[in-house]
Amino acid sequence: MVEPVARNHGRPAGGRDGASDVAGVLVLGGCAVWALIAALGRPARPEGVLLAVLAVAAGYACGRIAGSLLPVASAAAAGLAGFVLACTSPYGLTGHEGPGAAQLTLATGAVCCAAWAAPRAFRPALWLSAAAITLTAVVSGATAGATAGGGVLLLSLMAARPRRRLPALAGCALVAAVAVGGTWMVAEDAVPGGLPSTLRTRLTEHRIGLWQDAARIGATDPVRGAGPDRFGELSSAVPQPAGLEAKPHSAPLQQAAGQGLPGVALLGAAFGWLLHALWRSPRPTPVVLTAGAALTALAVVSCLGNALSFSQITAGAGLLAGLATARRPDDGSGALP
């Protein structure tokens, strides 16, 4: 299938650029190394972080390969697989809103990317498929998934309007930063005027308690944290004995508790790397901005839940980024990514 010509304003001109690939290797390598350093000499378990790093790298590589060969079919298949995975998950669409919302968000983003890459005759069917994913979340009561997926769908439909991608991707970075900052303010009880009762009810006192414990644990050692995957045994808000999912339900706070501020910085650097890779992507701007919107929605969801603790989510994020940054063999570079 030949990919239709689309506007690609805002992408830096020139040949193949390997800066994003080098940055990705350095950032992901740094995440793995720092997890081992934070665990050194402690009864910590860095395996979860290492698995997440491997999942992102593997997903990204698979996305680059599949996207270079079958950009429409691979993105559509990824979206369908993500939706099926969300529906058949042991947690269901509503039983565990972190991974459920993340899977629905990534699935919607992948299908929307396929729609922008497809010939015009096939786009209505793909748009309807993306809308069906969101409607399924609405009907099933998956509020977080419906909100995030619906937002991605709406932003994707508007993705043809921006003439430059850099301001839009900068906006994605700003939204993620606001989400992290807001979560941290709640954890530190630093919200001006106090947290509104409606928002407190929505977040639940239990989750706020987990966030506050994570901030407290991280403050005891801001450099190395308490060690990866030790939150359950150190938090007073986690029922004892701690279960396998004893997490603070916030990726940045989990990093702060387990790996200190450098861990939080590396998590932010990983998101920044994905945005930089999208900015340098040879794919059409609507595809790039759709992927950026989906990854930003995932970042917001991960601030409010433990979505990134599931390898299928980190692999899916890498896959979507790879699909949106893949280079076609016939795009003028003469080489695969």
Burial of 245 (0-12, 13-18, 19+ CB in 10 A): middle
Q: At 3, is the pLDDT very low, low, confident or very high (cuts 50, 70, 90)?
A: very low
- pLDDT greater than 90 at residue 219: yes
| Stretch 56-74: mean pLDDT | 96
* Single-letter residue type at 74: S
pLDDT at res. 86:
86
Residue matched to tokens 């040949």: 15
pLDDT at res. 108:
96
Range from 79-83, 138-142, 228-232 that averages highest in pLDDT: 79-83
pLDDT at res. 319:
97
Q: At 95, is the pLDDT very low, low, confident or very high (cuts 50, 70, 90)?
A: low
| Stretch 5-33: mean pLDDT | 72
* Dist. CA 230–CA 123, nearest whole Å: 47
pLDDT tens for residues 138-197?
988 888 889 999 999 999 999 988 888 999 999 999 999 999 999 999 999 999 888 898
> CA 292 from chain center: how many Å?
9
> CA 318 from chain center: how many Å?
8
Q: At 331, is the pLDDT very low, low, confident or very high (cuts 50, 70, 90)?
A: low
Q: Distances from the Cα of 264 to the Cαs of 24, 50, 123, 171, in angstroms?
A: 16, 15, 39, 20
- pLDDT greater than 70 at residue 245: no
Strands (E) in 15-172, as ranges, are none
pLDDT at res. 332:
47
Tokens of 174: 């700003």
Tokens of 271: 């998101």
Q: Is 118 helix (H, G, I), strand (E, B) or coil?
A: coil
pLDDT at res. 251:
95
Residue matched to tokens 């991707």: 169
Quick one: what percent of the chain has pLDDT higher than 90?
68
Of 72, 102, 71, 74, the residue nearest 89 (C-alpha)? 102
| Stretch 302-330: mean pLDDT | 92
Q: What is the pTM of this model?
A: 0.91
pLDDT tens for residues 257-315?
999 999 999 999 999 999 999 999 999 999 999 999 999 999 999 999 889 989 999 99
Q: Is 247 helix (H, G, I), strand (E, B) or coil?
A: coil
